[in-house]
Structure 1
Amino acid sequence: MTLPPFLQHEFLGNTVGQYLLAGLILLVGGALRRLLSRLLSKVLFRLTKRYTAGVTETELHDLLIQPVSILFLLFTLYLAFSVLRYPMPPDAVEGIEPWPKVALLRVFLLGVIATVTWVVLRMVDFALLVVKRRNELRATARVQRLDNQFLPFAKDLLKVLVIVIGVMVVLGEVFGVNVTALVGGLGIGGLAVAFAAKESLENLIASFTIFLDQPFAVGDLVTAGPVSGTVEKIGFRSTRLRTAEKSYLTVPNKSMIDKPLDNLSLRTSRRVGFSLTFDQRTTSAQLHAIIAASVEAMRAHPLVTQDVQMKFNALTPTGKEVTVQYFVDTTSYDEYLDVKEDLNYRLVEVVEQHGGFFANAPAPVVEAAKV
């Protein structure tokens, strides 16, 4: 079949027909790349469906559509440019590829390696999402808490390994670096690197200590030295806490384990302790009645344990001091405040009922009887 004459016209070493063919490949590839990406994710989901309980096809598609689409675009560009000839410079040596072609091939290879690494990173996200959903369906609350601590850590670790492997492949395949010699050289300079990254290595080791020893988990309320907050994430280098002021606090992992750490979420109850000072006008009979009625009221509360103490502790120049202590059977701070408020009102009512006076309270005004 003879091509029309205008298609055989050459420009920069290629015919118009070759340019049109390259353009057609780009057009078809650009139009079909998202469709092919969707088909690939659908096939992959069906192949793994029996192992992906709790994860939908849409979630897999959302993770893979962008990197896979770019991968198809790169192969479309490769096919389009492969039909073109590259002009040879006048001083070119026979058998050696022209530099524009070599440069484009290296850029293409760099793009492919980077995109494949991106796809693998998304597959890591998908795999850990599957593990998380499967455990949510059948695991206990304690196992789920451990998963919330382990899975982000495992995800970060796997992603770092994938990125390191991707960088090694780029150095070897694109830039021609002898990766074996490079790794051997790192052993020589490893001591210098270790000293330079001393803090980072200490925090990394501390993260493994936290994972193995499990002094706290994601969701626990902890106090370590001067900092306090709810653990939201445990990473390679640091632990993220949400403070009572709702700020997002980042604490190095080393600081979380080299100071006394109080895991407030593991306590069985919350303590309430304070002192009341009664005026000297309050008689001993009134004080006995107030203490007995107050102890009864505190023990009657459904969230107060039976370990209730209210004692006449001391005589002071300002009055009669009574200490109060009880424990609220809850780990919720809001519920703890509600119980305190309820019992504070009840204690005031008991004192009023028995005619007692708090210290520094003004004496009641008694009007003189009219004659």
Structure 2
Amino acid sequence: MNREFLNYTFLGNTVSNYLIFTGILLLGYIFKTVLSKLLSRFMFRLVGKLSKNGEEDEKALKRLLVQPLEVLLFLIMLFFAFQVLKYPLDPSEVRETDPMLKVVVRRLYQIFVIVATNWVLLRFIDFIGLLFSRRAEKTKSKLDDQLVPFFKDFIKVLVSIFAFLVMLGSVFAVDVTGLVAGLGVGGLALAFAAKESLENLLASFTIFLDKPFAVGDLVEAGGITGSIEKIGFRSTRIRTLEKTFVTVPNKSMIDKPLNNLTLRTFRRVSIDINLTYNTTSAQIKAIVAELQDFIDQHPRTNQDGRIKFHQLGAHSKDVMVLYFVDTTDFNEFIDIREEITYKIVEIVERNGGEFAFPTSTVYLQQSEPDASIIQTQDQK
């Protein structure tokens, strides 16, 4: 009875064929995660020599590859499952006279396989980029820090373009060779259409060759001030001082004046000391001389510091304080500036000076009463 049931034919296939079909799909669904982890481990061994962290890098690769590999493996299992079934016509062949549904289903399956394969390759490229980025972090040069993400994105674009061409050739039967050759004729029109993208791409090569800035530098460009986080082949990403994330086209980074604040040898400080008008000239001379000596002797300033009594303000006598701090680190700079500012206050107070603040003096003059009015009052 069981054999008769298994041999029962429905739509050209026996019950046993349908059971094998279902079994393959179930096995593929159940074991796709296990198989994807095994494949990711195998792929890790292929590039294991580049890894410096061992298990940590292997776990990172699994996180990247497990999901796309699961999709790809299930599609492969789906192919083998359908191979068990019998059809009036070979499903692997598509003819002009075939039903539209068959053509659509087959082409959709091919598209999914190509997309899943491309997904796996892109994730694997991300992992290779991660390994090289960790190596670049351990070197003193910043050039490799910006080259790694650039070439990683560039290779991903090439792989995606290749996958798209494969899809055109295998799924839609497009003559890819003729298409590529035709691009030579339409290359000029394409270049005009992609003018901005090509300009940004060429600008990225200019940045790498001329090196006006590198990843991690603090720059000021086009009214934006922040640190460079990434240099891509189309744009540069800047983390501003307000912690916002700004994307600037590479063309704008080289066409406009750019101030690389990281390359400064010193940081400039310029302030005015506002002293009250009660401060005597002898006190001002003593304050200026002592401040000049302190700035000149400080171990973190250069000899270009200038302390001058330079103007009589609206409400104060102003002493200019100008000096340069020998550091490019912002946190160290504000610590040194605070130390010098405390010393300025101490010197002013020690010499009897007082700090002024905006004030105004109003003089009221009472006018004498009119004599004629006084006489009239007396007569009354």
Q: What TM-score range do you get, normalising by the shorter chain?
A: 0.7 to 0.9
Partner of 2:106: 105
Tell me, yes or no, if structure 1 residue 132 matches structure 2 residue 133.
yes
More off after superposition, 272-281 vs 97-106 = 97-106
- Is the 1:109–1:174 Cα contact (8 Å) retained in structure 2? yes
Tell me, yes or no, if structure 1 residue 116 matches structure 2 residue 117.
yes
- Alignment coverage as a number of residue pairs: 354
Q: Deviations over 1:153-207 (max 9, x none)?
A: 1111000000000000000001100011111222222222222222222111111
Matches within 5 A, 1:16-165: 16-55=15-54, 56-87=57-88, 102-137=103-138, 139-140=139-140, 143=141, 145-165=142-162
Q: Secondary structure at the match of 1:268?
A: coil
Matched residues, percent identical?
Answer: 51
The 1:341–1:180 alpha-carbon spacing in structure 2 relative to 1, beyond 3 Å, is: same
The 1:48–1:190 alpha-carbon spacing in structure 2 relative to 1, beyond 3 Å, is: closer
Q: Deviations over 1:250-290 (max 9, x none)?
A: 21111110111110011122101123344443333222211
Matches within 5 A, 1:182-221: 182-221=179-218
- Is the 1:71–1:115 Cα contact (8 Å) retained in structure 2? yes
Partner of 1:290: 287
- Is the 1:87–1:98 Cα contact (8 Å) retained in structure 2? no
**2 CA distance for matches of 1:102 and 1:317?**
88
Which amino acid in 2 is paired with 1:49? G
Could you list the runs of 5+ residues in structure 2 that have no partner in the other structure? 361-380
Which amino acid in 2 is paired with 1:309? R
**2 CA distance for matches of 1:11 and 1:191?**
59
- Is the 2:200–2:235 Cα contact (8 Å) retained in structure 1? yes
The alpha-carbon deviation at position 358 of structure 1 amounts to 4.2
**1 CA distance for matches of 2:228 and 2:60?**
27
Tell me, yes or no, if structure 1 residue 272 matches structure 2 residue 248.
no
The alpha-carbon deviation at position 106 of structure 1 amounts to 2.8
Q: Deviations over 1:276-315 (max 9, x none)?
A: 3444433332222111222233345443334322123345
- Is the 2:33–2:66 Cα contact (8 Å) retained in structure 1? yes
Give the alignment partner of residue 332 of structure 1, picking from 329, 332, 339: 329
**1 CA distance for matches of 2:50 and 2:268?**
47
**2 CA distance for matches of 1:360 and 1:54?**
61
Q: Deviations over 1:35-86 (max 9, x none)?
A: 2222222223234323323352212222221222222111110011111123
**2 CA distance for matches of 1:358 and 1:108?**
81
The alpha-carbon deviation at position 239 of structure 1 amounts to 1.3
Which amino acid in 2 is paired with 1:117? N
Give the alignment partner of residue 219 of structure 2, picking from 217, 222, 225: 222
Matches within 5 A, 1:348-363: 348-359=345-356
The alpha-carbon deviation at position 126 of structure 1 amounts to 1.9
Q: Secondary structure at the match of 1:23?
A: helix
Which TM-score applies when normalising by structure 2? Answer: 0.84
Which amino acid in 2 is paired with 1:221? L
Q: Secondary structure at the match of 2:186?
A: helix
The 1:14–1:94 alpha-carbon spacing in structure 2 relative to 1, beyond 3 Å, is: farther
The alpha-carbon deviation at position 361 of structure 1 amounts to 7.7
The 1:197–1:48 alpha-carbon spacing in structure 2 relative to 1, beyond 3 Å, is: closer
The 1:173–1:362 alpha-carbon spacing in structure 2 relative to 1, beyond 3 Å, is: closer
**2 CA distance for matches of 1:193 and 1:361?**
65
The alpha-carbon deviation at position 148 of structure 1 amounts to 2.1
**2 CA distance for matches of 1:212 and 1:297?**
44
The 1:186–1:264 alpha-carbon spacing in structure 2 relative to 1, beyond 3 Å, is: same
- Is the 2:17–2:84 Cα contact (8 Å) retained in structure 1? yes
Could you list the runs of 5+ residues in structure 1 that have no partner in the other structure? 364-371
Q: Deviations over 1:119-171 (max 9, x none)?
A: 2112211222222233445x22xx2x222211111111000000000000000
The 1:362–1:20 alpha-carbon spacing in structure 2 relative to 1, beyond 3 Å, is: closer
The 1:170–1:340 alpha-carbon spacing in structure 2 relative to 1, beyond 3 Å, is: same
**1 CA distance for matches of 2:189 and 2:47?**
45
**2 CA distance for matches of 1:150 and 1:213?**
13
The alpha-carbon deviation at position 347 of structure 1 amounts to 1.5
**1 CA distance for matches of 2:356 and 2:113?**
80
Partner of 2:363: none
- Is the 1:54–1:133 Cα contact (8 Å) retained in structure 2? no
**2 CA distance for matches of 1:189 and 1:327?**
58
Which amino acid in 2 is paired with 1:53? K
The 1:359–1:95 alpha-carbon spacing in structure 2 relative to 1, beyond 3 Å, is: closer
